[in-house]
């Protein structure tokens, strides 16, 4: 009895101590992890609150761990796995009321997921081909399920989402060829299989998917493929890596460093993996690449020409007068220059470098203020416009890269989905 009476308080005390320690630890971690979001990063109080939870969670789940790997490929695989798991918590509130039939098919060797309004109750006889983002290396069709299903439901339109192969396992131009194989099949059988009028097909993609979407569109124009695409929707697309010191890149260095947002180093890693470069061996090239040391001298003139609207962007979009750091001192690296020479001005890799943009279909370009890729999207929109392509450029002052993945959690992201749906339906109906 005595023994028990003596033991019990000790036991309780140790539990209390554990709880207090754990709480202190969590509070301290929470305190250390909390970073105030920059002014204007998402607009409503709700959106900011959500992002104050989501952003540190992403930092803990993949940003910090992914920086601990000595091999870059392991960083990619970790991030891929972490995002695949985390994304399952998103879009749970999307309710398409059983109105969308979903089915996998294999088209010319490429798996595609088909989202079809049930009983063929479509509002149009057009269709949308969706190519997901993720730096050519992350993400999959499933991760974009809620977004694509929502659009199919709200637009009452057939959506096709393409499961192209990812790098580093499959490198450039594998992803492009996968998309083209599936799209060729769709053009061949879309009318018989789905009753689609193939002159009313819009291609859509975000981030690296925006790169693939516009590369497919450009290549169709170049080889005069018919029927022409009716439109392209490019959502914060990744379009080039010959200038990693645009204002939007430099803004990241000054104000967004350390947040779990797309960062310059990651763009370099992922783009170079896509180019087929073994970044496990070549990680030491990254600092010179982010300073533009990978751009060979003989390419400068061509790059400057393709990016000639940069000055307009730099002088008109100045981040509410925040001062932006100067361009970094270029850390020239001849090895990086040799490795990247075949890619930097190759339009299939860097579609912003395509000289002739005329005859591209009507285009919607979505850009976000908090995105290193902001400027290349804005420049592409300007160049398309100057080439006579009907272009709608919508810039979200409070938006950030990848915000559409939070379309059911954030008001601003949801609003941008509505803008995209409206534009796309209008294009399909007037094709
Ligand atoms: C929908 O349309 C396709 C193509 O016309 C047809 O094969 C399919 O049977 C239709 N499905 C329904 C449920 O009506
Ligand atoms: C930025 O600076 C210009 C010129 O000094 C000024 O007219 C403008 O109001 C400023 N904008 C903001 C958002 O502070
Ligand atoms: C398909 O759409 C085009 C463009 O609106 C139209 O000219 C054509 O007649 C349509 N074809 C069919 C079979 O409805």
The residue count of the chain comes to 431
Band the pLDDT of 15: cuts 50, 70, 90: confident
- Note the pLDDT of residue 26: 63
- Average pLDDT of the segment spanning 181-195: 97
- Tell me the ligand closest to 197's alpha carbon: 3
Q: Is the pLDDT of residue 4 over 60?
A: no
Calculate how far, in angstroms, residue 196's C-alpha sits from the geometric centre of ligand 1: 11
Cβ 263 vs Cβ 373: under 8 Å: no
**pLDDT tens digits for 364-393?**
999 999 999 999 999 999 999 999 999 999
R_g over Cα of the chain: 23
Q: Of 132, 185, 294, 401, which one is the catalytic site residue?
A: 401
Domains in the chain: boundaries: 39-431
* Confidence bin at 9 (pLDDT 50/70/90): low
* CA 113 to centroid of ligand 1, rounded, Å: 17
Give the pLDDT of residue 163: 98
The answer to whether 206 is a known catalytic residue is no
How many A from CA of 431 to the centre of ligand 3? Answer: 8
Distance (Å) from CA 425 to ligand 1 centroid: 21
pLDDT higher than threshold 60 for residue 7 = no
- Is ligand 3 within 6 A of the CB of residue 200? yes
Task: Look up the pTM and report it.
Answer: 0.91
CB 194 less than 6 A from any atom of ligand 1: yes
Report the alpha-carbon distance of residue 151 to residue 115 in Å, rounded: 10
CATH topology of domain 39-431: Rossmann fold (3.40.50)
The dihedral built from the CA positions of residue 63, 68, 69 and 70, taken in this order, carries a sign that is: positive
Q: Is 207 a catalytic residue?
A: yes
In the predicted model, is pLDDT for residue 80 greater than 90?
yes
Over residues 192-219, the pLDDT tens digits come to 999 999 999 999 999 999 999 999 999 9
Instruction: Please report how many Cα atoms fall inside a 13 Å half-sphere around the Cα of residue 236, on the Cβ side.
Output: 28
Q: What is the mean pLDDT of the segment spanning 252-267?
A: 91
Could you give phi then psi for residue 317, rounded to 5 degrees?
Answer: -115, 100
Residue 243: partners with Cβ closer than 8 Å, 6 or more residues away: 249, 292, 295, 303, 307, 310, 376
Tens-digit pLDDT profile for residues 136-148: 999 999 999 999 9
Contacts of 319 (CB under 8 A, 6+ apart): 247, 251, 255, 369
Which residue among 197, 200, 228, 229 is best mutated to probe the pocket of ligand 3, counting the most ligand atoms within 8 A of its Cβ?
Answer: 197
CA–CA separation, 321 and 38 (whole Å)? 14
Percent of the chain's residues with pLDDT above 90: 75
Question: What is the per-residue pLDDT across 83-102, written as a single tens digit (0 to 9) for each?
Answer: 998 888 888 888 898 999 99
What's the pLDDT tens digit per position in 327-356? 999 999 999 999 999 999 999 999 999 999
Ligand 3: does its nearest atom lie under 6 Å from the Cβ of 426? no
Mean of all residue pLDDT scores within the chain:
92
Q: Is 411 a catalytic residue?
A: no
Please give the residue that has the higher pLDDT: either 269 or 61.
Answer: 269
Contacts of 356 (CB under 8 A, 6+ apart): 387
């Amino acid at each position: 009895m005595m023994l028990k009476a003596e033991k019990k308080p000790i036991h309780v005390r140790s539990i209390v101590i554990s709880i207090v320690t754990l709480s202190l630890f969590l509070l301290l971690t929470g305190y250390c992890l909390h970073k105030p979001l920059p002014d204007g990063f998402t607009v409503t109080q709700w959106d900011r609150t959500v992002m104050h939870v989501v952003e540190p969670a992403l930092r803990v789940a993949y940003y910090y761990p992914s920086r601990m790997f000595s091999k870059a490929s392991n960083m990619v695989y970790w991030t891929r796995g972490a995002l695949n798991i985390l994304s399952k918590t998103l879009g749970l509130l999307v309710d398409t009321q059983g109105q969308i039939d979903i089915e996998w098919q294999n088209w010319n060797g490429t798996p595609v997921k088909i989202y079809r309004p049930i009983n063929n109750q479509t509002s149009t006889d057009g269709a949308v081909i969706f190519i997901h983002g993720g730096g050519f290396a992350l993400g999959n069709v499933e991760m974009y399920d809620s977004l694509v299903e929502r659009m199919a439901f709200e637009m009452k339109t057939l959506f096709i989402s393409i499961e192209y192969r990812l790098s580093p396992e499959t490198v450039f131009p594998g992803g492009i060829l996968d998309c083209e194989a599936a799209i060729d099949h769709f053009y061949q059988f879309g009318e018989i299989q789905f009753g689609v009028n193939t002159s009313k097909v819009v291609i859509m993609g975000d981030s690296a998917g925006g790169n693939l979407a516009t590369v497919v569109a450009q290549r169709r124009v170049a080889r005069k493929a018919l029927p022409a695409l009716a439109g392209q929707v490019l959502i914060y697309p990744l379009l080039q890596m010959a200038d990693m010191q645009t204002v939007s890149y430099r803004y990241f260095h000054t104000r967004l460093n350390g947040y779990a947002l797309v960062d310059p180093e990651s763009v370099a890693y992922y783009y170079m993996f896509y180019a087929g470069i073994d970044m496990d061996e070549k990680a030491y090239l990254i600092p010179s690449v982010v300073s533009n040391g990978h751009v060979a001298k003989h390419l400068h003139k061509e790059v400057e020409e393709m990016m000639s609207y940069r000055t307009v962007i730099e002088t008109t979009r100045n981040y509410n007068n925040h001062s932006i750091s100067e361009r970094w001192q270029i850390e020239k690296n001849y090895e990086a220059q040799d490795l990247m020479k075949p890619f930097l001005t190759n339009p299939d890799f860097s579609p912003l470098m395509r000289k002739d943009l005329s005859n591209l279909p009507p285009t919607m370009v979505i850009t976000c203020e908090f995105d290193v890729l902001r400027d290349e999207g804005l420049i592409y929109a300007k160049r398309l416009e100057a080439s006579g392509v009907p272009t709608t450029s919508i810039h979200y002052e409070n938006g950030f890269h990848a915000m559409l993945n939070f379309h059911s959690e954030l008001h601003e992201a949801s609003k941008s989905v509505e803008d995209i749906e409206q534009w796309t339906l209008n294009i399909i109906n007037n094709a």
